[in-house]
Structure 1
Amino acid sequence: MKTTDELAHEISRSDNILDYFAENCGEMQLDSLPEYLESWLKQKNCSKADVVRRSNLNKAYVYQIFLGRKYPSRDKVIALAFGLELDDKEVQVLLKQAGYRELYPRDPRDALLLYAIGHHQGIIGANELLYDHNIEVLE
C-alpha cells in the first residue's frame, strides 16, 4: 500500500490521469461509509447492538447510518468510533473515510478526545472530560 504522499507525488508527475487511475486502482477508497462501518464491525468482531450501546447513540439512528439512509456528523462518527472501540489511529482512518478532518492534537476538544480514546475511557469518560473543561460534549 502506498502512502498518501507517494500517491500525491505520482499525481503531480503524471502526464495522464487515466494512466494514474489504472496504475493505482487498488489504492483508491471507493467504498461507502456503511461498507466501511461493516468492515470495521468484522475487524473488531462486534455487533451493531454493541456499537449502539457503546456509542450512546439512538439505536434507530445507528441502524439508519449502517443502511446508508443517514449520514452522520463528525461528532456522530467519533461516537461510532467509541462504539467500535477503535484506537487513535483507527479513529483517524474512520474520520477520513467519512470525509471529515482527523482529530487534531492542537485543538483542545480534539486533544481531550484523543486522550480519552488513548486511555480507553469510552464515550461517557470522553464526555466527562469535555464537560470538566467546559467544552461541548459529544451528542
Structure 2
Amino acid sequence: MKEPMTEDLLNELLDSPDPAAFASKHKLVCRSLPDYLQQLLDERGLRRPEVVRQAGINPTFGYQIFVGQRNPSRNKLLQLAFAMKLSLRETNRLLQAGGCNELYCKNRRDAIIIFCINHGETLQTADEQLYAFHVDTITE
C-alpha cells in the first residue's frame, strides 16, 4: 500500500477545519515496530531468520524484536534496515516505529549512514565508511 507524501498530508491537515475528521479519514494510528517489520518482510518477500542473520543480530534477540518482546537500540534497527535494503524513507520510518531518532543529515555519523543507504551499500561497507571517518560503527 502506497502511503501519501507527508507534505501532502500536512497541507491537507492545515486546510482542514477539523483535526478529528482528518485523523479519522486517514486512519492515523501509531505504527508498532512489529507491525512495520512484518509489513516490510511481506512487501519484499523476505524471511525473518534470513534478515536477522544478515543483520548480524543474535537469532533469539532478533525474534524478540520482531514479536515486540524487546526494544532494539537505534543501531540494531539500522542493522535491520541494511539487511532489508530499505530506502532512506523506510529506514527513518523504521527508526520512528522503534522510538528512535530519524537519521539527520547535519549529524556527521548520520550523514555517512544516509549516504550509504542512498547508494545501496551493505552494512559492512557502511561500517567501513564510519570507521574511516573515526565515528562509531553501527555494529560496534
* Residue of structure 1 in register with 2:68 after alignment: 68
* TM-score, structure 2 normalization: 0.82
Alignment check: 8 A CA contact 1:56 1:123 kept = no
In structure 1, distance between residues paired with 2:109 and 2:127: 10
* Residue of structure 2 in register with 1:105 after alignment: 105
The 5 A counterparts of 1:26-37 are 28-37=28-37
* Residue of structure 2 in register with 1:125 after alignment: 125
Q: Give the CA deviation at 1:8.
A: 4.0
Q: 1:15 to 1:116 in 2, by over 3 A?
A: closer
Alignment check: 8 A CA contact 1:54 1:122 kept = no
Q: Which amino acid aligns with 1:23?
A: K
Q: Which amino acid aligns with 1:38?
A: Q
- Return 95-104 or 35-44, whichever deviates more: 95-104
Q: Which has the higher helix share?
A: 1
Q: Give the CA deviation at 1:94.
A: 1.9
Q: Give the CA deviation at 1:131.
A: 1.1
In structure 2, distance between residues paired with 1:106 and 1:45: 34
Supply the RMSD in Å over aligned alpha carbons. Answer: 2.1
In structure 2, distance between residues paired with 1:76 and 1:39: 18
In structure 2, distance between residues paired with 1:32 and 1:58: 21
Partner of 1:105, secondary structure, is: coil
Query: Structure 1 stretches of 5 or more lacking a match?
Result: none
In structure 1, distance between residues paired with 2:83 and 2:47: 10
Q: How many positions carry a matched residue from both structures?
A: 137
Query: Structure 2 stretches of 5 or more lacking a match?
Result: none
Partner of 1:96, secondary structure, is: helix
In structure 1, distance between residues paired with 2:89 and 2:20: 31
In structure 1, distance between residues paired with 2:24 and 2:135: 46
Alignment check: 8 A CA contact 1:88 1:118 kept = yes
Partner of 1:101, secondary structure, is: coil
1:50-97 alpha-carbon deviations (Å, 9 max, x no partner)? 211221111111110011100112111111101211122321232233
1:81-131 alpha-carbon deviations (Å, 9 max, x no partner)? 012111223212322333333212221101111222223321111111111
